[in-house]
């Protein structure tokens, strides 16, 4: 689960990370009714799960109440990369002396946390990483509840960060690592981590991605997700223990698969052929025909989707159950075209069932063949 910026700031404050206090508003009326004292100038930040907010006009400054309301009206309801801004985060403006980047992320292959630090940060961090990779310090960590001081010293030495910030930097790294470990994060990021004109480190913006499988340990975050669901289809999918992932507010392809690796492989190949995926749904393991029927219904309910790529490598998930679910759903998916790749347990039984199903169905012999069929746009 990706937390919005204002929720990430709440976690930062909870763990004692230095960051500006603020409040969130979902309407102009909420901005107008906010009656606590405000220390101007303020910054208003659009709360959307995408980058490039500042360049799109989603970050504005206000030096008085009139500007606060005016800028709020500009931001609320605007679209940034196809996403509508429904909330704005208002916080104090920070006079910046230096921007840096700090994060902890999970290396799935090594099953270890990785500390990433760069003395340059902000909106151009991806460009910096691409053009000047030597400026990025990466340190793989052994599993543990805390990060050792000597590792933080090593990062400072390698990056050339001034020793005058040694204590405050150590404090920020340790507290962000605590967030990463204790909140079961896939990513805990501060970008930018700034040094203000007073020489103090401040977490100006943050990203927190929490492992969905660990939400049972975090009731407050789980309840927050249920209360602020950004798509009805994600909530509907969760009723069946599916993971529905909105990808883009564009494209016409929906993916149904069993496992994040399969989904990512499908998306990568589809993107390379110049096509766009609107959404994806992870079945998990052991999907029955009834659950497949529901999965197809959910994905087909996305108004952008007219083609569904079902990519299944069956183990616990049996191919004949997949096929039976397709047959049961075929009359309720609005005529969506299906491209189906089945491999694994009971494959032949599954193929035999699908041979008798009337509908716009194309069978693929493998992942690449399935993407080829999608690109051709014709029935195989």
**132 and 206: one domain?**
yes
Q: Hey, is 46 helix, strand or coil?
A: strand
Greater pLDDT, 133 or 152: 152
| The pLDDT value given to residue 348 | 94
DSSP string computed for 138-151: EEEE-S-SS--HHH
Assess contact for 280 and 247: CB atoms under 8 A. yes
- For 7-21, 118-132, 321-335, which range has the lowest pLDDT when averaged over its residues? 118-132
| The pLDDT value given to residue 123 | 65
Task: Provide, rounded to the nearest whole percent, the portion of the chain with pLDDT above 70.
Answer: 96
Asked, for residue 8, whether it belongs to a domain, the answer is no
| The pLDDT value given to residue 111 | 87
Asked, for residue 14, whether it belongs to a domain, the answer is no
Assess contact for 71 and 58: CB atoms under 8 A. no
| The pLDDT value given to residue 1 | 80
| The pLDDT value given to residue 229 | 56
Q: Can you tell me the distance from the alpha carbon of 292 to that of 305, in angstroms, rounded to the nearest whole number? A: 17
Q: Can you tell me the distance from the alpha carbon of 82 to that of 89, in angstroms, rounded to the nearest whole number? A: 19
**125 and 159: one domain?**
yes
| The pLDDT value given to residue 88 | 95
Q: Is the pLDDT of residue 302 over 70?
A: yes
Greater pLDDT, 213 or 199: 199
Q: Hey, is 12 helix, strand or coil?
A: helix
Q: What is the CATH number of the domain that holds 85?
A: 3.30.1490.20
Our count of domains for the chain comes to: 3
**128 and 185: one domain?**
yes
Residue 278 exposure: Cα atoms within 13 Å on the Cβ side: 20
**75 and 106: one domain?**
no
Greater pLDDT, 250 or 34: 34
Report the mean per-residue pLDDT for the chain.
90
Q: What is the CATH number of the domain that holds 131?
A: 3.30.470.20
Catalytic residue, candidates 99, 120, 189, 294: 189
| The pLDDT value given to residue 28 | 93
Asked, for residue 100, whether it belongs to a domain, the answer is yes
Q: Can you tell me the distance from the alpha carbon of 212 to that of 110, in angstroms, rounded to the nearest whole number? A: 20
DSSP H or E run through 75: helix 65-75
Region of 199 on the Ramachandran plot (φ > 0 left; ψ -120 to 50 alpha; else beta): left
Q: Is the pLDDT of residue 50 over 60?
A: yes
| The pLDDT value given to residue 372 | 96
| The pLDDT value given to residue 228 | 64
Structural domain span for residue 200: 96-215
**314 and 245: one domain?**
yes
Assess contact for 244 and 220: CB atoms under 8 A. no
pLDDT tens for residues 217-276? 999 998 887 776 555 788 788 888 898 988 877 789 999 998 888 898 999 999 999 999
Q: Is the pLDDT of residue 379 over 50?
A: no
Q: Can you tell me the distance from the alpha carbon of 124 to that of 113, in angstroms, rounded to the nearest whole number? A: 24
Q: Is the pLDDT of residue 378 over 70?
A: no
The residues with which 107 forms a beta bridge, in sequence order, are 112
**190 and 240: one domain?**
no
**259 and 361: one domain?**
yes
pLDDT tens for residues 153-179? 999 999 999 999 999 999 999 999 999
For residue 177, indicate whether it is catalytic. no
Assess contact for 244 and 231: CB atoms under 8 A. yes
Asked, for residue 278, whether it belongs to a domain, the answer is yes
Catalytic residue, candidates 6, 99, 101, 177: 101
Nearest to 42 by CA among 93, 94, 96, 95: 93
Which tokens in the block code for residue 322?
Answer: 């997949």
User: Which residue among 92, 124, 155 closes a domain?
Assistant: 92
**180 and 253: one domain?**
no
For residue 101, indicate whether it is catalytic. yes
pLDDT tens for residues 304-346? 999 999 999 877 788 999 999 999 999 889 889 999 999 988 9
The residues with which 189 forms a beta bridge, in sequence order, are 103, 207
Residue 144 exposure: Cα atoms within 13 Å on the Cβ side: 9
Q: Which of the 8 DSSP states describes residue 43?
A: E
Asked, for residue 223, whether it belongs to a domain, the answer is no
Find the farthest-apart pair of alpha carbons in the chain and give their distance in angstroms, rounded.
Answer: 73
Q: Is the pLDDT of residue 98 over 80?
A: yes
| The pLDDT value given to residue 307 | 96
Q: Is the pLDDT of residue 360 over 60?
A: yes
Asked, for residue 189, whether it belongs to a domain, the answer is yes
Q: Is the pLDDT of residue 190 over 70?
A: yes
pLDDT mean over 37-59: 87
**368 and 285: one domain?**
yes
| The pLDDT value given to residue 38 | 81
User: Which residue among 92, 124, 147 closes a domain?
Assistant: 92
User: Which residue among 165, 182, 215 closes a domain?
Assistant: 215
Nearest to 326 by CA among 365, 291, 285: 291
The residues with which 74 forms a beta bridge, in sequence order, are none
Q: Can you tell me the distance from the alpha carbon of 121 to that of 330, in angstroms, rounded to the nearest whole number? A: 50
Confidence of residue 380 (pLDDT cuts 50, 70, 90): very low
Assess contact for 34 and 25: CB atoms under 8 A. yes
Assess contact for 242 and 292: CB atoms under 8 A. no
Residue 68: CB atoms within 10 Å: 24
| The pLDDT value given to residue 329 | 94
Q: Which residues of 1-11 are buried (b: 16+ CB within 10 A; e: fewer)?
A: bebbbbbbbbb
Asked, for residue 26, whether it belongs to a domain, the answer is yes
The residues with which 282 forms a beta bridge, in sequence order, are 243, 257
**86 and 122: one domain?**
no
The residue with tokens 């404090």 is: 171
| The pLDDT value given to residue 298 | 95
Greater pLDDT, 377 or 186: 186
Asked, for residue 274, whether it belongs to a domain, the answer is yes
**255 and 359: one domain?**
yes
**176 and 267: one domain?**
no
**Prior bond of 237 cis (ω within 30°):** no
| Residue 296, Cβ density class (10 Å: 0-12 exposed, 13-18 middle, ≥19 buried) | buried
| The pLDDT value given to residue 174 | 97
């Amino acid at each position: 689960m990706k937390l919005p910026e204002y929720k990430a700031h709440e976690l930062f404050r909870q763990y004692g990370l230095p960051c500006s206090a603020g409040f969130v508003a979902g309407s102009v009326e909420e901005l107008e009714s906010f009656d606590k004292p405000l220390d101007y100038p303020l910054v208003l930040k659009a709360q959307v799960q995408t980058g490039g907010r500042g360049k799109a006009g989603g970050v504005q400054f206000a030096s008085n109440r009139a500007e606060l309301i005016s800028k709020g009206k500009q931001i609320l309801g605007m679209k940034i990369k196809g996403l509508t801004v429904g909330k704005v985060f208002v916080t104090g403006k920070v006079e910046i002396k230096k921007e840096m980047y700090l994060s902890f992320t999970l290396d799935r292959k090594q099953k270890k946390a990785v500390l990433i630090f760069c003395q340059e940060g902000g909106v151009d961090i991806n460009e910096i990483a691409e053009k000047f990779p030597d400026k990025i310090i990466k340190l793989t960590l052994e599993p543990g509840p805390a990060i050792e001081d000597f590792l933080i010293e090593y990062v400072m030495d390698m990056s050339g960060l001034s020793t005058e910030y040694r204590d405050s930097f150590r404090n920020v790294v340790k507290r962000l690592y605590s967030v990463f470990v204790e909140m079961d994060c896939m990513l805990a990021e501060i970008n930018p981590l700034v040094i203000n004109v007073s020489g103090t480190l401040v977490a100006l913006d943050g990203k927190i991605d929490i492992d969905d499988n660990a939400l049972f340990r975090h009731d407050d975050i789980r309840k927050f997700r249920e209360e602020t669901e950004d798509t009805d289809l994600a909530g509907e999918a969760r009723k069946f223990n599916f993971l529905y992932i909105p990808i883009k507010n564009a494209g016409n392809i929906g993916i149904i698969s069993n496992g994040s690796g399969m989904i990512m492989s499908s998306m990568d190949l589809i993107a390379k052929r110049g096509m766009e995926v609107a959404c994806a749904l992870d079945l998990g393991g052991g999907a029955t025909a009834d659950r497949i029927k529901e999965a197809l219904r959910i994905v087909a309910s996305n108004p952008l989707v007219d083609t569904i790529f079902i990519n299944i490598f069956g183990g616990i998930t049996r191919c004949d159950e997949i096929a039976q679910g397709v047959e049961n759903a075929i009359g309720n998916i609005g005529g969506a075209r299906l491209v189906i790749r089945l491999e694994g347990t009971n494959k032949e039984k599954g193929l035999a069932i699908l041979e008798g199903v009337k509908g716009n169905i194309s069978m693929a012999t493998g992942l690449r063949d399935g993407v080829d069929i999608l690109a051709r746009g014709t029935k195989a």
